[in-house]
Structure 1
């Protein structure tokens, strides 16, 4: 069988992150959803996504395909159920299709002519943006088990104070000196060439992916993920940064998700709880209103290529779109559309030519090329999000 991960029905609920990537490329835990399925199935998988993303994320089909809803994260039981699927069979979670076997890959999950196999999932699902951080601890533990079982960690330097060292894993080239590592509340994983600088205090779980860095004196707790190339400093609690994003200085980031190529200026702070302790509501692109998360703690959701200046203050439950540039004093509003430029005193449209200059400059610093494909994706996102920019 050829395995394909489809965006399914939850793509819009995962905006702004899925403006610029398929659902399968969301990082939660240590790995992206696609990487998790590839590890569990032991094969390469492709994705079925929007046409404007398909050049960067191409689809590969064959005469026999299993299409999997990418919002479902793999576990042993689910993988076995999917591997048993035959052509014309659909694995269903109530009214929601988890996977189906097909000779032709449909645009949508239409299983009206399929043999239905009912299935009660026991694993994790990522159906809303806040699921990414709220379920990060479970996903991190699962990925840690997959990546480290049967393998031996690089040695931990004796300069560190360590609790539960058997729950800490350092890949080749990872460095940590003169820091406190407490893995009693969750695993600590350091990817290849990751670094924890001196004086950091880490309370697991933590995933510090390849090339990621904790700056000196950082305080990290709650299950937190810093994707490849990310930099973290100050105080960070239960947050996920996808890749190449920076929160490198003092300030607090909590119960938040940052996409790729984001940058938070020095002393940026996010509120993650309302003063009246009420459950947080978060902007929904689907309803164009504020959705009930059911969570008391929820901070910042920031799409790819967005930035904020020093001393920026974010209200509880703020959603920032793609390629936004925020600066100035005061609290900006709690929904900022993509390609906006400004702050609490007001916004204007951030034209794509200027946004591309910023993206190219940031990516060049990490020796990553800003390609024509990237530009075309962002151009499309600019058009998609025009209706939310009232300026």
Structure 2
């Protein structure tokens, strides 16, 4: 099988995170969606995404290709059904196109003519940005089972206090000292060379991915994912951090999603519950409007390369785009377009050349190069999001 994960209609509803990555590179649980499919299929996968992302995320075709909806998380029954597809067949779950098998890269009209094969099993699908954190617990449980089955955890230091230790797994190089880990309500996975510093209180489920750090005194509630090379402290609850981002000081982050290369300033907080306990509305790029999430708890969604200064306050259901710099005291608006600079008293355009200077320095600190490919993607995002910036 040559699997190709295609973005599909969910992409527009998953902005701002899919401004800078295909749908399959969204992280939920421990792994990205691409990594989940690769683990289940036992082979590498490429993706079919927007043209401006294709240099960094190319599609690889073969004589026979199996295209899979990247908004769907794999499970054994689904993987088996996809593996049974023949040429010019498509797997359908109601109105949802799950996968199709073809010798080329046909357009949607051609795919519509393929033979229907119904799928009646369970599907976990991400349709909106808030699904990333609200469905994170199920994804974390599935990934934990996938990655630890038949394996033994590295020894856990006796300095720690453990509850349900059989649900706690440390990869090689992981370090945890003088902390309390409670896996009663969800597994705790500590990735390769990840660290939990002294005095931390952790309640699963938690995925602390490779080289990530919980700093001293961190208070982490499930279901939370802290992506590779990220650092957190303070209070974090049901948040997903894709990777290379930092919330390194006190303050609250809850029911939230952060992209890559974000930085949350010291003592910053987001609200995740309205004062009247009403369901939360949040901006949806796909519908170009604020949409009812159906959730009582919904905090902050922040795109790649965005940052906040110390003591920043985010209102319930705030959506921040790519390359924003928020630093003025008070609550800023709850939809902040990409490349915005300012805060509660107003915004101006954060010009790409200035934004790229900060990105280059931040990435270099982690040993990653900010290159022409990254710049081209962000220039494209700047142009795509111009309509939402009415700043002089």
| TM-score category of the 2 structures, normalised to the smaller one | over 0.9
CA 1:109/1:199 → structure 2, altered by over 3 Å: closer, same or farther?
farther
Deviation at 1:107, TM superposition (A): 4.8
Q: Quick one: distance in 2 between partners of 1:190 and 1:206?
A: 8
Q: Quick one: distance in 2 between partners of 1:341 and 1:17?
A: 19
Deviation at 1:124, TM superposition (A): 1.2
Deviation at 1:228, TM superposition (A): 0.2
CA 1:333/1:175 → structure 2, altered by over 3 Å: closer, same or farther?
same
Partner secondary structure for residue 275 of structure 2: coil
Partner secondary structure for residue 282 of structure 1: strand
CA contact (8 A) 1:97 1:109 kept: no
Deviation at 1:109, TM superposition (A): 7.4
Partner secondary structure for residue 328 of structure 2: coil
Q: Quick one: distance in 1 between partners of 2:218 and 2:374?
A: 32
1:84-107 Cα offsets, whole Å, 9 max, x none, are 011110001212210001111135
The answer for unaligned runs of 5 or more in structure 1 is: none
| Aligned position for 2:367 | 367
CA contact (8 A) 2:259 2:302 kept: yes
Deviation at 1:364, TM superposition (A): 0.6
TM-score by length of 1: 0.99
Q: Quick one: distance in 2 between partners of 1:38 and 1:122?
A: 19
Deviation at 1:296, TM superposition (A): 0.2
Partner secondary structure for residue 207 of structure 2: strand
Q: Say whether residues 1:163 and 2:157 are aligned partners.
A: no
1:250-329 alignment to 2 at 5 Å?
250-329=250-329
CA contact (8 A) 1:320 1:337 kept: yes
| Aligned position for 1:98 | 98
Q: Quick one: distance in 2 between partners of 1:69 and 1:386?
A: 29
Q: Quick one: distance in 2 between partners of 1:23 and 1:39?
A: 17
1:78-97 alignment to 2 at 5 Å?
78-97=78-97
Q: Quick one: distance in 2 between partners of 1:48 and 1:120?
A: 25
| Aligned position for 1:174 | 174
CA contact (8 A) 2:339 2:352 kept: yes
CA contact (8 A) 2:13 2:287 kept: no
The answer for unaligned runs of 5 or more in structure 2 is: none
Q: Say whether residues 1:146 and 2:137 are aligned partners.
A: no
1:70-123 Cα offsets, whole Å, 9 max, x none, are 001000000000000111100012122100011111354752211001113413
Structure 1, 93-102 or 227-236: larger mean CA deviation: 93-102
| Aligned position for 2:240 | 240
1:141-185 Cα offsets, whole Å, 9 max, x none, are 100011000111100000000001110000010000000000111
Deviation at 1:194, TM superposition (A): 0.1
CA contact (8 A) 1:223 1:238 kept: yes
Q: Quick one: distance in 2 between partners of 1:284 and 1:164?
A: 39
Kindly tell me the number of residue pairs found equivalent between the two proteins.
391
